[in-house]
Chain A
């Protein structure tokens, strides 16, 4: 599926295996954690792609690969058509500038011994072309204002701010180098409920203002639905379903997506007795030893022999959007 407009990010068959070794002196590889195992998608300019899935499905490894914080085992990440793995020196530096990240926990992702000004201005130390030395303070104050903080607080330390304000500082740091893509890894999950909406609104406003593209990783499906143009559902290192928000939420065709959606508690007690609930049995299998064929088959109520033998490809199926299930069948689980 190609997003409308210009592609800024092209991810093809991205794989990251972490080796499992045994022995201390003579290390032998005895296996691999298949954290990300063949992921492909595109991201358009100004688009938001939501990534959902449970812990251990590879969401955060995917984020690290996109940030070039981890080297992929194979596959490619192209930014504006240039392969990140092949870029070197100045070119790689420019590419890295273009893709920034907002972390999950605003309490641990800010250095407590640095002032807010130093935290937000630190990216300029490496990318001095964005803000020459004499100009940095003003630039940081501008950023503080953009994210709705008082520019006079530039000399304060992180502990003097609340959780929501700290997340704003993290967002300002992400914006500092004027990137085109920001990866938001669970940006609101550590915040109080009444603060989450404030930060979501800020992210949406910044997107409009600066034409940012987001990869929005979260486990809160209603938050993802609100902000995303398209949504990718991950299970054990693979994308199992990918489509426009309305495809995923109203016409999910992969059993895992259906189970995930039906498991989300709906904030409305009316009709809770009638609501359809697909309760999955057990836990996800280990990514070191995923099941053969379809990885979801061990927990799937539709599984048949073919699911163990043949891996279903992520291709357009009966729901009208890509789904990796042999028996894909669109089924509205939320309003059913």
Chain B
């Protein structure tokens, strides 16, 4: 926003009412030797300024592929997007030219990856890597860009930033490396920040530091945050609303308090029930039976039906739509009322 040259894309007429970022009925497929993999199957979600959306799901649920599609960093081919829109302030990113897209990527929508060590270049100093953002996107000279890099390292609270700006990634601890990644991602004041499992590789005390830092940065700049994770604890801590993904679809979306109080999909219920709780000590844990589906050989009907305790005959044949429960909640289960009844009591 602070750079007028960015606004090359024609703004849509309804930009005022549009959410900051809206993923709408997105489909992503991969053409592989074994066949067509439908990794994302009609995913829709929205994020507004200052809002935190948690996308919860297991490996293979399509949560990261959706994020990569938003960023425009999918390798196409093998990936392709047959259907759907990704609207950023009302403009469909998928219809933009490569050049217009690269104006948005990293500047207005930025991403933090899980593994900071492999996301940083080991043969360049961290200062060089952070300042690259300013050199490439803002056309700054080396000295000014380096000065900005030090400021950013201060902002993400890396101690002795001025001395450490010329250090290499391996000289930092895991938590500090993730801070450097965060510094790079917020360098250009993005409006949307996508964090893909930002703390999975970190220890809990460091995880707490990083999540606190992210929350603070979000408060300061009113970014929309998309947090991709499988950790139910992290979600409960920071999210405003949740989208639960399973086998490429959103099976439940709701404000965070609603999901934890009374999940409306058997899969979200199963996940919550399988958390070890204090009063469950010594008892068998609830376990969702079976395995996550093979994306090459998806079950018919509802993808969760082979593992579902609520399954009836029509679950095997009919794909459940995302039923609207209330204005802010939805569940893709034919029997969400039963699930809700079981969880409310």
Chain A hits for B212, CB < 8 A: 277, 279
Interface residue from B203, B261, B284 paired with A204 (Cβ < 8 Å): B284
Interface residues in B186-211 (C-beta closer than 8 Å to A): 203-209, 211
Q: Please state if A283 and B281 are interface contacts (CB–CB under 8 Å).
A: no
User: What are 14 A-to-B residue pairs whose CB atoms are below 8 Å?
Assistant: A192-B230, A192-B292, A193-B230, A194-B274, A194-B288, A195-B291, A201-B285, A219-B204, A263-B204, A263-B207, A265-B208, A277-B212, A282-B159, A283-B173
Q: Which of A17-25, A81-89, A220-228 lies at the interface with chain B?
A: A220-228
Is B231 part of the contact surface with A, judged by Cβ < 8 Å? yes
Number of interface residues of B (CB under 8 A): 47
Q: Residues 230-253 of chain B: 1 if any A CB is under 8 Å from the residue's CB, otherwise 0?
A: 111111110100000000000000
Which residues on B sit within 8 Å (CB–CB) of A262?
208
Cβ-defined contact, A272 with B237, below 8 A: yes
Q: Which residues of B contact A264 (CB under 8 A)?
A: 204, 233
Enumerate A153-207 residues with CB–CB distance to B below 8 Å: 162, 164-165, 192-198, 200-201, 204
Q: Give chain B's interface residues, CB within 8 Å of chain A.
A: 58-59, 159, 173-176, 203-209, 211-212, 230-237, 239, 256-257, 260-261, 270-272, 274-278, 280-281, 284-289, 291-292
List CB contacts (< 8 Å) of A137-166 with chain B.
162, 164-165
Determine if A193 and B232 form an interchain contact, defined as CB atoms under 8 angstroms apart: yes
- The CA of A95 and the CA of B204, in the complex, are separated in Å by 35
Contact A194 B292 (CB under 8 A): yes
CA distance A245 to B280 in the complex (A): 13
Query: Chain A binding site: helix, strand, loop or mixed by DSSP?
Result: helix
Q: Is A268 an interface residue (CB 8 A)?
A: yes
Question: A259 on the interface (CB 8 Å rule)?
Answer: yes
* Choice from B175, B203, B274 contacting A197 with Cβ under 8 Å: B274
For B239, B257, B278, B292, the residue with the greatest tally of chain A CB atoms inside 10 Å of its CB is B278
CB atoms of B237 and A263 under 8 A apart: no
Smallest beta-carbon distance B11→chain A, Å: 35
Let me know if A90 is at the binding interface, CB within 8 A.
no
A73 at the interface (CB under 8 A from B): no
Closest to A335 in B: B278
* B contact residues around A15 at 8 Å (CB): none
A192 and B197 alpha carbons, distance in the complex (Å): 14
Once the chains bind, are A270 and B257 in contact (CB under 8 Å)?
Answer: yes
Name A201's contact: one of B203, B272, B287 (CB within 8 Å). B287
A134 interface residue per 8 A CB criterion = no
| Given A221-B204, A279-B208, residue A193 in contact with residue B287 (CB < 8 A) | no
Kindly state the separation between the CA atoms of A221 and B203 in the bound complex, as whole angstroms.
11
Partner of A266, one of B173, B233, B272: B233
Further 18 A-B residue pairs, CB within 8 A, beyond A222-B275, A245-B281, A263-B207: A162-B292, A192-B59, A192-B292, A194-B58, A194-B271, A194-B274, A194-B288, A194-B292, A198-B287, A201-B285, A219-B203, A222-B276, A223-B276, A259-B205, A263-B204, A264-B233, A269-B256, A270-B261
